[in-house]
């Protein structure tokens, strides 16, 4: 039987970061992470299962939205995941896949979380399998992009570190309607990052501060969870910023060190601090890249966007916010 399905899955921004993999094969983290699922930054992926023999085909949306054969490195990562899911489903045949991102490539925005969540969900739907959400988060993460587990769900999502070989599955701690937070993304870096997250995860334990980070995290995670529960921005802001600095401190003190920041990163961080001191509800976080995510309340988003857009160091701004998670759509990419 052949089937086809298309899923839109959003990206997410972590308030408590996944940094360090204790089991690369199973994609098990050293620490729990917690993120907010976004809305406007998403991947849309169509998967078709074909009964005939032959190679999988992977297409990517190129200039002007025209589908073209995906680059060799991207296709290889997708094909590896297709093979994994074929084994999981216990089926033969091959897949045809096409994917498109709402955000332009080369903006330093990671597309793997949204991309692998969309790919996993579309494939499971194309096969018409009934799979519970817990298992879907595990399947998505097996792609090698751990953060894809969190993009399977909407709102505020935790991915526990889990003990043992299977680890934990991601769960929502609050739905999107609970708290209308926004993410104003200052896009600074048009070049692909020099050190992948995968390599960063490998190097993390070599930092002399990594053990200390793991000791401090449970209390920080509790603070973030409690702040979300109470919708308390004054409690959220310091914990989110502490965590962002901590991730980069580990990266910079890994052996060999990794520097994701650029001078413009510090410029935006200073602006976010200035805005907060002037009374706005805004704080900053950064993933494994130079871009700064200014997390803010819906009330203050227009002023935060305006201020960040006005900085000469900022290439462009993406205005995003918390969202309800992936959806299946009837319109396919091919
Ligand atoms: C810094 O291994 O999930 O964003 O596959 O490159 O998206 P990609 O990375 P992944 O690591 C994510 C690292 C992080 C923190 C986070 O999102 O938790």
How high is the pLDDT of residue 194?
Answer: 79
Query: What pLDDT does 17 receive?
Result: 98
Which of 146, 185, 224 to mutate to test ligand 1, by most ligand atoms within 8 A of the CB atom?
146
As a whole number of angstroms, the distance between CA 93 and CA 57 comes to 12
Spell out which residues line ligand 1, taking CB within 6 angstroms: 14, 17-19, 33, 110, 112-113, 145-147, 197-198, 287-288
Ligand 1 pocket mutation, candidates 197, 203, 292, criterion most atoms within 8 A of CB = 197
CB proximity list for 85: less than 8 A, separation 6 or greater: 120, 123, 124, 139
282-285: strand order across its sheet = 282-285, 292-297, 181-187, 316-321
pLDDT tens column, 143-191: 999 999 999 999 999 999 988 777 889 999 999 999 999 999 999 966 6
**Distance (Å, rounded) from C-alpha 29 to C-alpha 26?**
9
Site to probe by mutation for ligand 1, drawn from 81, 110, 192 as the one with most ligand atoms within 8 Å of Cβ, is: 110
Which residues lie below 8 Å from residue 278, measured CB to CB, with a gap of 6+? none
Q: Which helix (H) or strand (E) holds 38?
A: strand 33-50
pLDDT at position 191 is: 66
Residue that the structure tokens 């299977």 belong to:
166
CB-based burial, 136-172: b 16+ in 10 Å, e otherwise: bbbbbbbbbbbbbbbbbbbbbbbbbbbeeeebbbbeb
Supply the pLDDT for residue 55.
96
Cα separation of 214 and 134, whole Å? 25
Q: What is the DSSP letter of 143?
A: T
3-class secondary structure per residue, 79-127: HHHHHHHHHHHCCCCEEEEEEEECCCCCCCCCCHHHHHHHHHHHHHHHC
The segments of the chain whose pLDDT lies below 70 read 1-2, 106, 108, 189-192
**Residue with structure tokens 């332009």?**
104
Question: Which residue's CA is the closest to the ligand 1 atom numbered 8?
Answer: 145
Ligand 1 atom 2, closest CA: 145
Work out which ligand 1 atom sits closest to the CA atom of 145.
5
Residue 209: per-residue pLDDT: 98
Per-residue model confidence (pLDDT) at position 110: 72
Among 210, 192, 294, residue whose Cα is nearest residue 252: 210
What does R_g of the chain's alpha carbons equal in angstroms?
19
Nearest one of 115, 112, 173, 171 to 138, comparing CA atoms = 171
Q: What token pair was written down for 277?
A: 């001191």
Backbone angles phi, psi at 266, to 5 degrees: -65, -35
Give the pLDDT of residue 239. Answer: 98
- Do the strands 316-321 and 282-285 form a parallel or antiparallel pair, or are they unpaired? unpaired
d(CA 177, CA 310): 30
């Amino acid at each position: 039987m052949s089937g086809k399905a298309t899923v839109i899955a959003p990206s997410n921004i972590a308030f408590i970061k996944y940094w360090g993999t204790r089991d690369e094969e199973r994609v098990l983290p050293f620490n729990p992470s917690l993120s907010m699922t976004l809305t406007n930054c998403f991947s849309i992926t169509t998967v078709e299962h074909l009964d005939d023999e032959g190679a999988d085909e992977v297409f990517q949306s190129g200039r002007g939205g025209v589908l073209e054969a995906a680059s060799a490195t991207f296709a290889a990562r997708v094909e590896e995941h297709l093979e994994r899911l074929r084994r999981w489903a216990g089926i033969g045949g091959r897949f045809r896949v096409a994917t498109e991102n709402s955000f332009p490539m080369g903006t330093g925005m990671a597309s793997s979380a949204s991309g692998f969540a969309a790919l996993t969900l579309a494939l499971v739907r194309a096969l018409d399998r009934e799979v519970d959400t817990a298992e879907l988060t595990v399947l998505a993460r097996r792609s090698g992009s751990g953060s894809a587990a969190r993009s399977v769900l909407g709102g505020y999502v935790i991915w526990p570190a889990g003990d043992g070989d299977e680890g934990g599955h991601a769960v929502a701690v609050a739905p999107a309607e609970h708290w209308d937070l926004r993410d104003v993304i200052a896009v600074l870096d048009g070049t692909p990052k020099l050190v992948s997250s995968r390599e960063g995860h490998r190097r993390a334990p070599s930092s002399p501060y990594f053990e200390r980070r793991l000791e401090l995290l449970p209390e920080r995670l509790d603070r973030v969870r409690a702040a979300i529960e109470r919708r308390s921005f004054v409690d959220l802001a310091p914990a989110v910023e502490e965590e962002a600095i901590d991730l980069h401190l580990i990266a910079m003190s890994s052996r060999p060190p990794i520097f994701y920041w650029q001078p413009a990163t510090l410029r935006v961080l200073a602006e976010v601090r200035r805005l907060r001191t002037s009374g706005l509800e805004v704080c900053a976080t950064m993933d494994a890249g130079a871009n700064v995510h200014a997390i803010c309340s819906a009330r203050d988003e227009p002023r935060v966007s305006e201020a960040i857009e006005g900085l000469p160091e900022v290439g462009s701004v993406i205005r995003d916010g918390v969202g309800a998670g992936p959806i299946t759509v009837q319109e396919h990419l091919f």
